Structures are given as C-alpha cells and as structure tokens.
Amino acid sequence: MIGCEPFVNGVGALLSRIQEDGIANIRIFDDDARLLLEAMPDAVLGRVFILFSDPWPKKRHHKRRFINRATLDSLARTMKDGAQLRFASDHMGYVRWALGRLAAHPAFQWRARRARDWREPPADWVATRYQQKAQRQGRPAVYLEFLRLDRS
C-alpha cells in the first residue's frame, strides 16, 4: 500500500497508527498523489482509494479538485485492467462532480446496481477520521466504486 498525504498532521497521525498497529506493508508519499502517478509505470495499480479528499467547495477553486480529466487519465494509465477505484465523500457537490467526470471517462465503469451500492460502504471498509467527523455532524457519505476497463 502506498498512502499519499500532503499534510504534515495527516502524515504524523498515519505514522503513529502504523507504529501502534505494527503494519509493515505501507509506504508513505508525503505530497500530492498526482506527482507520484506521473512517475509510475503503466498498469501497476490494482486498487485506488480516493477518500474524503478536499472538495474545494468554492467555484473558483474547483480546478484544484483531485478528480479532473488529467488525473483520471493518469489513473487510467497507471491502473491495471480490472482494477478497482473507490471514491468516498460527504460533500454532495463534489460527489456529483466526481461521478460526472468518472462516468464520462472511457476507461472507467461505475459498478453500482442499486442505491445501497453507493449509500453503504463496502463490506471491507475502514472508516476514515473525516468520515467519522461527517457522521457525527449528520452528513452522510457516498461510496462510489469504478472498474478500470480492459485496454483491448
């Protein structure tokens, strides 16, 4: 697993959790994940998680959102055929934004078949700190799952 987190406090919390839990299979990239994607070879990622990333809610800041065409192109290049992409957020404006861009991208297919597929977390879900905060404040989260389509 490679965890990408540009904020020092987030990295510090992650390092503490890794040490507490004795986890040895995690590497941390303490910067924007897009920089790491640029350096990766093609078709190496089996799963990608974009969990409660900054929604940049002001319209003038939407260009900063992680989900955009350039990032999706980089993900499509670096993900293996059949790889899973999970996106979760409690910001409904960003959910609509992400769903629209992901559904329109030719390399990805939305996996939802019924409402609970995006309203309930997957069975193997581990709640994030941001998700827990949103739940305490009464904001529901949405869980989108996409499949990287075969290149052939």
Active site residues: 54
Contacts of 112 (CB under 8 A, 6+ apart): 118, 144, 145
Question: Look-up: residue for tokens 């905060």?
Answer: 133
Beta strands in 20-151 (DSSP E): 27-29, 45-51, 79-89, 108-110, 142-148
Task: Quote the CA–CA distance of 91 and 140 in Å, as a whole number.
Answer: 9
- Which helix (H) or strand (E) is 2 found in, with range? strand 2-4
Task: Quote the CA–CA distance of 31 and 7 in Å, as a whole number.
Answer: 8
> What are the phi and psi torsion angles at 142 (to 5°)?
-120, 140
Q: Select from 32, 130, 48, 120 the least CA-distant residue to 83.
A: 48
